Amino acid sequence: MTQPTSTPWVLPGEDEPWSLSLVARVEREPAPAHTDVLVAAARAVVLLLTDERTTAPGGAFHDAVAAWRGQRIRKITRRARGVRWERTAELAHVEARSGDAAVRAFAPHPRDDVPPLLRPLQVGGLDLTDPDDRAAAPSAPGLLTIRLHPGVRMSTGKAAAQVGHAAQLAWELLPAALTAPWAAGGFGVRVLTGAPVLGAGERVDVRDGGFTEVPPGTVTASAGFEG
């Protein structure tokens, strides 16, 4: 991917970068587990992409998603709790849950024109953990496996954006024979850390642009159907 030469986050030919906002609910008690936030984020992205408000011309998300998909994929993870989380429900969104985690995905918007209800929400500093005894979810037919690459250290917020990218690429690029059962089963996702086990033609890989946390070109995640 060609890197920007002047204004950060703007690639040649882009007048104004767009991003999709993910908002994770992060209460003090109980705090969600790191992996649950990632699973919810991945599902939220695909639920938004397949929502009738996106797929139907004139839908509430349709034009914004089309404008965003015409550029480089960008997602930003914010966090909210209490009243601020409840207020985000006033904006059109989709929501996905996993364990104690809930993540909402909102219509894409120009990077510098964030909806007022989302603007005050913190972007950085979301770094959660998993319980020591958490076991990796088993593989199953119709379940998308997203593997975070070993050795790539990312915060929960950054990782949520990366698994969202992986889920999107899986939906858009992998064969319909694989994605149709996934959709029929409600877009189940499991997230784990490990090197890819599928061949290059059976998976999608996410290469980061290098704007935050990792060097440009880093392969952060891969996704495919291992069951």
- Residue 153 resides in a domain: yes
- Can you give the pLDDT at residue 203? 97
* Structural domain range at position 35: 18-123+138-224
- Residue 189 resides in a domain: yes
Mean pLDDT value of segment 25-41: 95
C-beta of residue 21 within 8 angstroms of C-beta of residue 157: no
- Residue 133 resides in a domain: no
Question: 13: which residues sit within 8 A by CB, 6+ positions away?
Answer: none
- Give dist(CA 164, CA 86) in Å, integer: 23
Helix (H, G, I), strand (E, B) or coil at 109: strand
Number of structural domains the chain divides into: 1
The DSSP 8-state label assigned to residue 30 in this structure reads T
- Residue 160 resides in a domain: yes
Mean pLDDT value of segment 23-50: 96
| pLDDT: which is higher, 58 or 132 | 58
- Residue 85 resides in a domain: yes
- Residue 1 resides in a domain: no
Q: What is the DSSP string of 113-132?
A: ---TTTTTSB-S-------T
pLDDT tens-digit series, residues 131-172:
988 888 898 999 999 999 998 999 999 999 999 999 999 999
Look at residue 42 and tell me whether its pLDDT is greater than 60: yes
- Residue 203 resides in a domain: yes
Q: What is the average pLDDT value for the chain, to the nearest integer?
A: 90
| pLDDT: which is higher, 132 or 222 | 222
* Rg, Å, the chain Cα set: 17
For the chain, how are helix, strand and coil distributed in percent, rounded to 5? 30, 20, 50
Q: How many CA atoms lie within 13 A of 222 on its CB side?
A: 20
- Give dist(CA 174, CA 167) in Å, integer: 10
Look at residue 185 and tell me whether its pLDDT is greater than 80: yes
| pLDDT: which is higher, 181 or 217 | 181
- Can you give the pLDDT at residue 118? 97
CA nearest to 91, candidates 111, 115, 122, 127: 115
Look at residue 11 and tell me whether its pLDDT is greater than 60: no
pLDDT tens-digit series, residues 194-221:
999 999 999 999 998 767 788 788 999 9
pLDDT tens-digit series, residues 90-124:
999 999 999 999 999 999 999 889 999 999 999 98
- Residue 110 resides in a domain: yes
Q: How confident is the model at residue 2 (pLDDT cuts 50, 70, 90)?
A: very low
Q: How many other β-carbons are positioned within 10 Å of the β-carbon of residue 3? A: 12
- Can you give the pLDDT at residue 15? 67
- Give dist(CA 226, CA 224) in Å, integer: 6
